[in-house]
Amino acid sequence: MLLCEIALLFESNEFKKLKKNQQALTPEERKLVMDRDAVWHFNGENNPTPAVWKSVDPKTSKVTYITHTHRAFNTASTVKGAIGRYHSFIKGTA
């Protein structure tokens, strides 16, 4: 296996773990994401969906915020950090 294949496999496993522990954003977090325009427009109508979600590790209670497309994902320890990653990188991979 090449090093890049191992890295992709690790990221995939990490993403699966984050997805398994997904929780809804609080109303305040959701408002911040929506107000900062970190959203996806899936259906062409004016019904945006937050492009940031969160995962809480059940063992440590550590909160991780995630933004992703089908090509890439990025994480941050704060919702503002995830919004920044959405605008600086993830949106461009859509």
Q: Please report the pLDDT score of residue 8 as a whole number.
A: 53
pTM: 0.83
Mean pLDDT computed over every residue of the chain: 85
Report the first-to-last Cα separation within the chain, whole angstroms: 28
Q: Please report the pLDDT score of residue 65 as a whole number.
A: 97
pLDDT in tens, 19-47: 999 999 999 999 999 999 999 887 666 78
Relative to beta strand 22-23, strand 73-76 is unpaired
Above 70 in pLDDT, residue 49?
yes
